[in-house]
Structure 1
Amino acid sequence: MAKKTLILYYSWSGNTKKIAEKIKYEIPDSDLQEVTVADGTFDSDQYKTNDIALDQIQGTKEFPEAQMPTIDFNDYDLVLVGSPVWSGYPATPIKSLLEKMKDYKGEVASFFTSAGTNHKAYISHFKEWAAGLNVIGVARDDSEVQTWIK
């Protein structure tokens, strides 16, 4: 029997959204939900947004709220979390999302989109932010999705 799957994603430019929609197509009975942030949280310029995120991570330690409908994560066997890579980190709304998921007992996997090459840092930072969750994998784009859903 297929795992009941939820696909959550934050997409700043639309690239992660495209991958999330592709994954949704690959897992027909899955649920798809976008995570958003308040207007004005980030800049339309990717370099300014990167600076804002680094300040949140390394400076203020204040992360933007992950806005989405109320979800009972424990209704799902597997939650896929999608994010762009920002300076080797998941987008900062993902930190807030993972906090909301702290009581989730199922499996978590992350897919990411990146224009750069700092993937190993993303993997370690995602796992650090998801401490206490059952992370079964982290992969670029949708390369591992079929393995995760089996």
Structure 2
Amino acid sequence: MRLEKRSVFLSKPILVIYYSWSGATERAAQAIAKVQQADVVRLTVAADTFAADMFVTSDIAQKQLATGALPALTNALPNFNDYATILVGGPVWSAKVATPVRSLLTHLETFTGTVAPFYTDAGNAGDYETDFAGLVQRATVKPGLECHAGQSAAAIKSWLQAVET
């Protein structure tokens, strides 16, 4: 599954992996991948896991968090140890990491490289980055990038340079 691409701004192989409920995080992932020239994987869950309505989806996610029953990822995951850096994207749900991204982070428990979040929200990211960092076991967590519509390439480049340092 490993593609022979190399980062433009990061000197070692990287992976952009993301979950997108509404399409906003997917647009951010594609913008980052365009600047970064990284391998990209979209996380998927069963089609009936969440509703089309964001408030209903929020309720579903809250129940998942309360019970610890995170949604199963339905796509194949790459060998994370093939990468030095993994950029993890997802939506902010109730100021927390979305449950599909939480599922992914359980698969990164032995990864010892660098991880950095990028995320989209409907107005308030809250303590997303603190929540994210608390879910990462062994990797080094770098500051994240809060993505907005029309994220500039310059902002992405600046963030990627900060991730590398």
TM-score normalised per structure 1: 0.91
Identity %: 37
* 1:25 to 2:34 alignment: yes
**8 Å contact 2:112–2:138 — kept in the other structure?**
no
Superposed CA deviations along residues 79-132 of structure 1, whole A, max 9, x for unmatched, are 000000000111101111011111111100000001121x24111111111133
Q: Distance in 2 between matches of 1:133 and 1:46?
A: 31
Counterpart of 1:42 in structure 2 is 50
Query: Offset of 1:68 from its aligned partner?
Result: 2.4
Q: CA deviation at 1:133?
A: 2.5
Q: Secondary structure at the match of 2:101?
A: helix
2:60 is paired with a residue whose SS is: helix
CA contact (8 A) 2:21 2:91 kept: yes
Report if aligned partners of 1:3, 1:149 keep a CA contact under 8 Å in 2.
no
Structure 1 range deviating more: 95-104 or 123-132: 123-132
- Structure 2's unaligned 5+ residue stretches are 1-9, 148-155
Matches within 5 A, 1:68-107: 68-107=75-114
Displacement of 1:139: 2.2
Partner of 1:127: 133
The alignment's C-alpha RMSD in Å is: 1.6
For 1:144 and 1:108, the matched residues in 2 are separated by 13
| Alpha-carbon distance, 1:149 to partner | 4.2
What one-letter code is carried by the residue in structure 2 that aligns with 1:14? G
DSSP-derived class of the 2:143 partner:
strand
- 1:136 pairs, out of 138, 142, 146, with 142
Partner of 1:10: 19
TM-score by length of 2: 0.83
Count of residue pairs brought into register by the alignment: 147
8 A contact 2:108–2:137 mirrored in 1 = no
* C-alpha distance 20-149 of structure 1, shift in aligned 2 (>3 A): farther
**After TM superposition, where is structure 1 displaced by more than 6 Å over at least 4 residues in a row?**
none
